Amino acid sequence: MKRRTPSPQQPAADPERARRLRMIVATVLGTGLLFIITIATIGLLLGPPDDEPTPMVGSNVAPDPGDTAERPTTRSTPFGTVAQTGDADRFAESTALALFAWDTRDGYQPTDYVQSMLDQASDPANEETDGLATDLAAYLPNRAAWIELQQYETRQHLEIDQIGVPDTWAEVQRQAREDTLLPGTIAYTVDGTRHRTGVWEGKEVATDHPVAFTMFIACEPTYEQCRLLRLTVLDKPLR
């Protein structure tokens, strides 16, 4: 998969109807060949969330429970920044990086990171927003795991190895029924490395883990600035 700039999409006949419809992209690969690509709803593609990530071990000193309820006042907001742009490539790259950028030392909770991503990257009026919130939450540790990670001062970031439009996307567009996809919808598949660092018995430790996922975004003509629609289950991208 080579990085490339997506071609502009043609407006759908009825944009309002397009907002009410959902899409699915299901790819079945066997012996290296593509057998079926169908369109229905994104939700079916996303499936159930993966198991919660295993916390990275670290120091044995637990944080004061009261600390987690406080919001920092002297440190800048640690959330990743999503570019407010109509450039699909730039938007996709910044969204991928922001999705994996968190730091348990700053006193925020996973819900704060989800809300930050929704505020920066989504369209509140889109009917997929509730589904996107669920997608985002699945990319973060749950509350119990987060509390465990706080003990080890764990923070995370993503290093992108490759990002681009998956080869199957052209076939998805070809087979999509009229008004199924918002005009300007495009998919980006990301392959990268998730880096976590923390503290174990007073020493800095680090772990690396390969990740892959696909983002569905919409740009012009539906949106002047690109918006994130949905995410696939982590490590189950389109190819």
pLDDT in tens, 178-213: 888 999 999 999 999 999 999 998 999 999 999 999
Q: Which string of DSSP letters, residue by residue, matches 50-95?
A: PPPPPPPP--S-PPPHHHHHPPPSSS----------S-HHHHHHHH
In a domain, 148, yes or no: yes
Instruction: Decide if pLDDT at 162 tops 70.
Output: yes
What Cα–Cα distance (Å) separates residue 18 from each residue in 123, 172, 176? 14, 16, 12
30 part of a folded domain? yes
Q: In this structure, is residue 70 part of a structural domain?
A: no
Please state the φ and ψ torsions of residue 36, each to the nearest 5 degrees. -140, 135
Structure pTM?
0.71
Tell me whether residue 8 is in a domain.
no
Separation CA 92–CA 108 (nearest Å): 24
Look at residue 215 and tell me whether its pLDDT is greater than 70.
yes
Domains of the chain: total: 1
Q: Is residue 4 part of a domain?
A: no
Q: Which two tokens stand for residue 46?
A: 């996303």
Asked if residue 69 belongs to a domain, the reply is no
237 found inside a domain:
no
Q: Determine the structural domain holding residue 151 and report its residue range.
A: 15-50+79-231
212 occurs within a structural domain:
yes
> Binning pLDDT at 50, 70 and 90, where does residue 13 land?
very low
Instruction: Among 6-15, 96-105, 129-138, name the one with the lowest average pLDDT.
Output: 6-15
Helix axes 110-121, 88-99, angle to 10 degrees: 170
